[in-house]
Every structure is written in structure tokens, then in C-alpha cells.
Structure 1
Amino acid sequence: MNPLNTVRELFAKSPLLGRLLDFEVTRGMVLAGTGYFLFGLAVFSLVFTARYYVVQTDALVREVVGELDGVTVEFPYLEPQLVPPRVTVEYVRVYHKKTRKPLLILKDTDLRLSLFPLLVGKLSLSATSRAYGGLVDIDLSTGAFFNTDWLSADVRTEMIDLGTIPQIKSFDRSMKGFLTIDASVQGPVNAPLEVEGEVVARLDRLDMENRFPVIKGARLKDFSVNLDCAMEKGVWSFSQLDIVSTDGISLKTAGALSVDANNFQKSTFDMNGKFLGSPKRLATSVLDPKAVAMMKKKQAVPVRLRGSVANPQVMLK
């Protein structure tokens, strides 16, 4: 008997083998198989890439921050975890490269990396940190193709102690108060005048040197400040900059601040506003008797603020 015929008879008698012989590969099955293969390849590539960056994180981050102009960034060795992608940093310190003056100090920072922006060439980080006695939340993104010269940042702070901020100390070493911010800004890192965005902030329990000659007293105490500011081309436009005291006196202003990128204290402003409050209290605080007379008639007192940040001038109109 022919062996080949014997094999054929066995295949014919087996239902399972018969089905295999009748099996046809369709176009849909080919596409589905290809899709599963590509998906598996993408997952493998993503995991492989993520693991590579986890191992190289410390070196990569130090290389990036080392290329930043004008600032020096210090932080301990980074040991990230892969799932979820995050790293906890004991501290992050940012200094002016030439003067070594501190610009930003963060503690107990929890950094989280978003993986999907990596697929389109962007680095997106979220951070929660303690800073200056309060809390800070930051969402930070680079430009396309990991361009770190351009950044987008959303910043939220709660109860930051003004007296612990180095820049505040250089302006008024005795200033006290608490700061809350909700800001969204974007632009080139090395060109602050080109940064655009909006800042909404509140200062509570403000206690500072009195730099407004129209107001009596060496200090301004128990004030709060509310501001809403838009930034564009080196000009900060204030739709609201209101100063309110606990005893009912308020100064409501709006205007603009032109920023000097080399020396912020030389930045100039032009604000228009009005005083409101109790005439009796105003009489003990404001030097101009004309303003008191207007308050007694229940009229708002127009006021204009001009000059520089370091030397403000207040004029009653």
C-alpha cells in the first residue's frame, strides 16, 4: 500500500485535521495579527525606553540643568521608580550662577513624569513640594523635541511665608505676610521679557516698611493685597491691585509695570486708583487734608502711583 495514500486516509478520517486543512487565512486575520504584533512592539519599546531613562535619569537631568544659563541647580542623587514614574527629592536649590544668591529653594519634592508627552517629543513633569513654610504645586512642560529653552508652567502656592523668600528680604528685610498664587506662564527661559501668562495672587497679614510718603507711620500693618496680572512683552498689566486694611481703608488700583530685566527694582510703574474707607481713620493716616474732606463727603479719593519699584511716588488728585 502506498504510504502517501495511507496518510491521506488518516487526514480524511480526522475531523480536527480536516478543519485544519480547510482553514483559510483572511485579510482581516492578517491585519489583526499585525496590529497585535505592532502593539506588543510599542509596549516593549516604551517599557525598554522607560527603563533606560530610569537608569540614566540622574545623569540626564544633571546634563540638562548644567546647560541652563545664569543659574546653578543643586539636588541629591536621583533614584526614580518606574511604575508609576516618579522620584522623591530631598531638596532642590537654584542659585544665581555669578552671585550665588539663592533664587529658589524646594524641600521634600515629589516629581512625577507623564509618559504620553514623551511620545510626541515633550517632557512633562508635575511636582509637589514644601517651600518657604508653605506648599507648592507645579506642572512643567518643555517645548517640542525636548526644547528646554522654552517652558510652560502652571504654579499654585498656599501660605508661603514672605519673610523667608530671599528676593523679599532684599527688598524689605522686615516684611512679613503670607502669599497664595495661581499662575500660568510660558515662554523662553533666558528671555524673561518674552514670558507671557497670567498671575492671580493674594497677600495676607502683610506687615512691611511704609514706602508710600502719602501715608503716615513707619510701617504698614494688617493689610491684604489682591492682584490679577497679565504679562506680555515685559509689561505686567494689572486689572486689579487692591490693598485693604483690617480697619476698613482700601486702595483700589489698576495700571501697568514695565519690567527692567537687569534690575527689577528699577522697573517702573504707572497705576491709577482710589482710596475708600472711614474719614476718621483716613484723617489719621493720610497727610493731604483734601483727601479727608472728600471722604467726609463720601467721595472716593483718586490716587496715582508712579516711579520705580525702589522709589515709588504716590499722588492724590
Structure 2
Amino acid sequence: MIASNIALIVAGPTCSGKSALALRLAQRFAGSIINADSMQVYRDLRIITARPNDEDLGLVPHKLYGVLDGHQTGSVAWWQKEALAALKACQSENRLPIFCGGTGMYLRSIIEGLVEIPPPGPQAREEARSLLESLGPEGLHARLLEQDPETASRLHITDSQRLARAWEVLRGTGKGLSAWQKEPQLPPTNYRFISVRLDPDRTQLRQAIAERFAAMLKAGALEEIKALLEKNLSSSRPIMRAHGVPELIAVAKGELSLAEAEEKAITATRQYTRRQATWFRHHALGKDEDNIISFQRFGDNEKFSESEFLKIENFITQRIDNH
């Protein structure tokens, strides 16, 4: 029997094959897969976020996939609370928890804990959303740089969700996000994490991103976005900024051709994967390198040899046995 306080993590940049590898590990170790992707939590975006399909969902239990409506906001604090509940559920079901996703802050919150920041309040939240809509992410970044340079210097100028969060925290609490993050944290879980980090070749990853976006279009991604538009959500909602969503919205509104949108979406995703890969190398998986195994490969079954999978299997088994 696997110890009740051990969990696996399968992490890496977008399109690196995390879901396929997590599924294979869940089948091998009687696991349940817990979503750690900030966009796969939304039920409206199955295609454009590459959420697991019905066949995969039927093979092993999956948790925290498609659980939020588009008008809701899946914050790090919300996810951590839900992830802790999912861990308890896995324990009661005698299944090994396997976190799978590319949102580094989500994984970091479950490994290292989370700073308890007071709620900024609806007025600050609305101000942040309004500024994001009127100024755009670059303009909001410039405004934040004036008032909270420490936080702004750590955020990418196109990361609208984190920029809005930083602004609402500053305005709602009177203290910047970086300052809050220096405060004592809520304790992390008492789980021991064994992590598999995927970091495939950049050139191959760029090609995989292009191929997957083309497949998404063929599967009905544009129709999915048109259905999302019918909900009349604010453009500041996190779901509206998922990779590929702004570009396909522009197609639906006649502002871009499908070819132009495809090119822009692929470029934006490639840029994001560079930041993800850097984050996973340096931040998100904790400091215990002995419990992290890395592969410069994709996790898809056809790209992951039996010998490589056996290496991961042995790595995990040894650490479970030595617990």
C-alpha cells in the first residue's frame, strides 16, 4: 500500500505531453489525476485548453477539471483549497494523488504553502478590471511600475491576470503583492512530493504547439469560442485570456483572419512556454532535487520509450519504498 502522505507531480510547459504521462502513471500506480492548470478548470473551454477527453476521463479518476463557469475566477487561493480537498479524497479512496499541469503558482502553493492576503474587496477588484480593459496589460504594468515597482518588475507586461491581481491587492490592502509574499506563509501540506519535470527541445516544442493548435481548429475551437462569446463575459475574466481565446474572438468579430489568429496564438503560446520552462527549472517544484526527475522529452506515449517510462517507474517506486 502506498503511504497516505505521498503525491506525484507531472509538470512542464504547455504541449509537453503532461496529461498523457500522468494518465500512464495513474494507471500504473492506481492514481487519481488532479488538475493543476489554471485554464482547464473552466468547463467552457474543453478544446482550446486541451482538457482530457471522455475516454481518458473514463480510465482513471480526474479531479478539478471543468469545475468552474466562465464568470467565476479560479485564483491560486481557490485552487489550493480545492487541491487540499482533492488530496483528502484521494486518501479516502486509497488512490495516489497525481498533480498534472503547467501553472507554477498552483503547484508552488501546494508544496510551499501560501501567503494569507486579506481580501482586497470588490471595489479594488473592479478598479483592476476596469484599468485592464481601458489601458491593456502593458498600460496596467506601467501604472503598477509607478506605485509598486518591486512587484511590477517580477511580472511580464502581457500577463494580464497577474497584473490585475497585483493591482487589486495593492489598492485593496495598501501593500504590494511582493511585500505580502515576504510575510509568514500558511504551512504547506505534510505531503512528500515526487516530481517528473518535462522540458522538451524548444524547436520540437514549437512544432508541437503549431500542430496542436491546428488540431484544435479542426476539432471545433472556433465554434467553442463563439459559444463563449454568447455568455457576454467581461474581457477581464481569466477565461477570456486563455491561450488562443483572444485571437479566435477577433476572428469571430471579423477583426482577424483565421490564418492571422492562428499565427498570433501560436506565437503567444511559444512565448509563454519559455517562461513556464524557466519557472519549473528554478521555482515551482520545491528545493528537494532528490525527489525531482527531469526529461528533455515529451510525455506522449509514442514519444516516450518503454525504457524511459521504466526509469520513471523505478524512480517513483524507490522513493515510495524509502519513505
TM-score, length-normalised on structure 2?
0.20
Identify the structure with bigger relative contact order (alpha carbons < 8 Å, sequence gap 6+): 2
* Structure having the larger proportion of residues in strand: 1
